[in-house]
Chains A and B, each alone.
Chain A
């Protein structure tokens, strides 16, 4: 199983009662993993995709205060959203074991930043565990619960992409369903602490941390205890796995000591003294920030990120580690010749309703400032229909910011913001209220494909089902938009290109004359399993001889099913990829793409 599934298994083996999350790569498969075991073994677990990470955190944390073992999982940038409760929860501490899984993405492969959640743990002053493999990730879940309950502190578990999406044969242990009942012991000095009490809680937290820095279960391990050496390599996370294999290949395992640090913060204080006393040279290999390295205060023996021995950005791929190790141990290595070919860009699916929306936006309001957001639709970049993508929900606030900035300078500008449905719920609603109150004028297009597509089609609050597939209340996006005070709110179908373009034009007019206008572009995601059943008429298309090879369709619309036929010097439809949406009929300026009948 992959690391995320392994952690899910670890959670049910350790009596987790509440599992909360907001989807985000590379953490998205943890919750479905818990759902699987809950369903198979009828376990009493509350499982929930929350509206955002902050809320997920707070719900799971309350469960812990009530004495249950709980977990909240998210990707690293999600932890930014949940950082507010994290900082305070560290002071107040937990009751039932409380794990915060924050999955990092060095590379980055599918994220906005390469940030290191362990730094966030250090900032919040909570312990963090850093597993090296899927199997260890599972084992660390149990360790984290133990640690959390022994010290009444939230514990962070920080896997990286290679652990989350690494697969391994993992041994299963028995599942122990929780037999705890929720209980709440009133203690306002703790759970509702005022600044004076916060000071006391802070001192208490410091004491806990010193004790955790001596905790036996999580202390660094020497992986080759028989080796006598004056040199040591200290690693954590998946870098342990890479380093171990490379050191074995280079024949270094019997000449250089190799340590795994499972708990990078707080680093064991005895360990710091031990390595400084025992070794002449120390190399620290960790992803992505120098968290362990910074805690080794005496710097004259230590090499790592802080003195350039390790690159300051990018994933520590095994080939990178091999180079670092060879240099550190003065082994000559042949130069690697890694080609820098730019590969195929990711692209919206053939027939994706987002592509239709973006094309219509470009047509209806050409040359506008296009602010956008985080999700599949960020790939609208390829169509030139996106100018900004900052973080969750920022499309709306950035649109408002551009409006205010240009207004101040007395200049007119067209602004169209695009945001996905899930992102709108996550962080868009406060921004929309703010924009209405401040009379910021722009067009907001909510790209409503009724799912959280990028991360694997999790439900949104509008979907009307929960993480386990049970029916739940459904929140209407148009109702929400209207109650935010928006006067112009219409729903349109991007597959109906002429009508949808007209709708956008009238929204644009409204935004210039009267105020903010919202268009909800509604059409389900093509890869969403839930809606695949819905029959849709297939429109088969072909390129006629009217095509003069101008490539407008390829450049401006970039449907992956439209290819350029070099021999015939014109566009061609790849029938294998074409989804039969028929949108491209409206795209070609020469009317060369036509509907055809196939037998």
Chain B
């Protein structure tokens, strides 16, 4: 077993927390094959792990064949699974070309976390933090792990700018351990990718 589960006492009970600071709307945007569904579910499970109500909306079917894939994630007391334009706190952007099409979801003062070499075009109006997750993924020989790198990066960089996410990197690690129990090799690789992103987020120029 890969040791990563936090102490029992760290877990909050279901429905225990529901302050408005824990209400968050995150839009995850990419293209088919990038593992958007995987991180959507990972982030949703982290909310459940924290005892927070969560709603998601996923893309399936035709669009999964390389088309634009977008997931909505709403944590806290919401009833609709979809984020309205101008309401997203965070836009997690795995495919930077989606920016033009999806930026209108971002709330005033919202933040874009982008998988991009440079600051993507067309983001003058918004706060953008980017990381070249695709190249990093290649470097660690896990080309498909850009999604986890970006997630780790997002969590650590967001907390540095005071936009505290509803879950911590430790929560995500715990959920990964639960999800991949018994598959040590994949788990180790996933945690490595996630940790790499997290470290970069701690160092990133913001």
A binds B: yes
Cα-based distance from A28 to B62 in the complex (angstroms): 13
Closest A residue, CB atoms, query B48? A169
A568 within 8 A of B: no
Judge whether B100 and A26 touch: CB under 8 Å.
no
Judge whether B68 and A343 touch: CB under 8 Å.
yes
Total residue contacts A-B, CB cutoff 8 A = 124
Q: Which of B5-13, B49-57, B153-161, B182-190 contacts A (4 or more CB under 8 A)?
A: B49-57
Cα-based distance from A334 to B121 in the complex (angstroms): 26
Cα-based distance from A245 to B97 in the complex (angstroms): 31
A165 within 8 A of B: yes
Cα-based distance from A576 to B85 in the complex (angstroms): 33
B179 within 8 A of A: no
- Option from A2, A162, A244, A346 in Cβ contact (under 8 Å) with B65: A346
Query: What is the interface of chain A, defined by CB distance below 8 A to chain B?
Result: 2, 25-26, 28, 109-110, 133, 162, 165-169, 238, 240-242, 244-246, 317-319, 322, 336-339, 341, 343-349, 376, 379, 454-455, 560, 576
Cα-based distance from A351 to B119 in the complex (angstroms): 32
Judge whether A344 and B68 touch: CB under 8 Å.
yes
When A244-B79, A560-B66, A576-B143 are in contact, do A166 and B61 touch as well, CB less than 8 Å?
no
B59 contact set on A, CB distance < 8 A: 109, 165
Most chain B CB neighbours (cut-off 10 Å) among A28, A245, A345: A245
When A165-B60, A167-B54, A167-B55 are in contact, do A317 and B82 touch as well, CB less than 8 Å?
yes
Judge whether A343 and B80 touch: CB under 8 Å.
no
Judge whether B80 and A244 touch: CB under 8 Å.
yes
A503 CB to nearest B CB, Å: 27
Judge whether A162 and B57 touch: CB under 8 Å.
yes
Judge whether A167 and B65 touch: CB under 8 Å.
no
Q: What are the 9 closest A-B residue pairs judged by CB atoms, nearest first?
A: A110-B61, A25-B61, A346-B67, A167-B56, A166-B81, A343-B68, A242-B80, A245-B80, A347-B66
Per-residue CB contact flags for chain B residues 73-108 toward chain A (1 = under 8 Å, else 0) read 000001111111110000000010110110110000
B176 within 8 A of A: no
Closest B residue, CB atoms, query A560? B66
Q: Which of B10-61 contact A (CB under 8 A)?
A: 14, 31-33, 40-41, 44, 47-48, 53-61
Cα-based distance from A196 to B101 in the complex (angstroms): 60
Judge whether A165 and B58 touch: CB under 8 Å.
yes
B63 within 8 A of A: yes
B138 within 8 A of A: yes
A241 contact set on B, CB distance < 8 A: 79-81
Number of interface residues of B (CB under 8 A): 43
A-B contact pairs, 27 of them (CB 8 A): A25-B60, A109-B60, A133-B55, A133-B81, A162-B57, A165-B59, A166-B55, A167-B54, A167-B81, A168-B54, A240-B79, A242-B82, A245-B78, A246-B80, A317-B82, A318-B84, A337-B104, A338-B85, A338-B104, A339-B101, A344-B68, A344-B95, A346-B64, A346-B65, A348-B66, A349-B33, A454-B62
Judge whether B55 and A336 touch: CB under 8 Å.
no
Judge whether B66 and A169 touch: CB under 8 Å.
no
A295 CB to nearest B CB, Å: 25
B39 CB to nearest A CB, Å: 13
Cα-based distance from A439 to B186 in the complex (angstroms): 56
A355 CB to nearest B CB, Å: 11
B32 contact set on A, CB distance < 8 A: 346
Cα-based distance from A451 to B143 in the complex (angstroms): 27
Q: Which of B134-167 contact A (CB under 8 A)?
A: 138, 143
A244 contact set on B, CB distance < 8 A: 79-80
Judge whether A167 and B80 touch: CB under 8 Å.
no
- Option from A26, A238, A349 in Cβ contact (under 8 Å) with B60: A26
Cα-based distance from A28 to B65 in the complex (angstroms): 16
B66 contact set on A, CB distance < 8 A: 344-349, 560
Cα-based distance from A268 to B98 in the complex (angstroms): 46
A246 contact set on B, CB distance < 8 A: 80, 84
Judge whether A344 and B65 touch: CB under 8 Å.
no
A343 contact set on B, CB distance < 8 A: 67-68, 98, 101
Cα-based distance from A2 to B14 in the complex (angstroms): 19
Most chain B CB neighbours (cut-off 10 Å) among A25, A244, A343: A343
Closest A residue, CB atoms, query B67? A346
When A241-B79, A241-B81, A576-B143 are in contact, do A349 and B57 touch as well, CB less than 8 Å?
no
B9 CB to nearest A CB, Å: 21
Judge whether A162 and B68 touch: CB under 8 Å.
no
Cα-based distance from A109 to B59 in the complex (angstroms): 8
Closest A residue, CB atoms, query B51? A169
A379 contact set on B, CB distance < 8 A: 62, 65
Judge whether A109 and B62 touch: CB under 8 Å.
yes
B61 contact set on A, CB distance < 8 A: 25-26, 109-110, 454-455
Most chain A CB neighbours (cut-off 10 Å) among B55, B98, B100, B104: B55
A166 contact set on B, CB distance < 8 A: 55-58, 81
A28 CB to nearest B CB, Å: 8
Judge whether B85 and A162 touch: CB under 8 Å.
no
Cα-based distance from A316 to B195 in the complex (angstroms): 40
Closest A residue, CB atoms, query B71? A167
Closest A residue, CB atoms, query B56? A167
Most chain B CB neighbours (cut-off 10 Å) among A167, A319, A337: A167
- Option from B44, B62, B84, B97 in Cβ contact (under 8 Å) with A319: B84
Judge whether A576 and B58 touch: CB under 8 Å.
no
Judge whether B65 and A376 touch: CB under 8 Å.
yes
Cα-based distance from A2 to B67 in the complex (angstroms): 21
When A26-B61, A110-B61, A244-B80 are in contact, do A167 and B41 touch as well, CB less than 8 Å?
yes
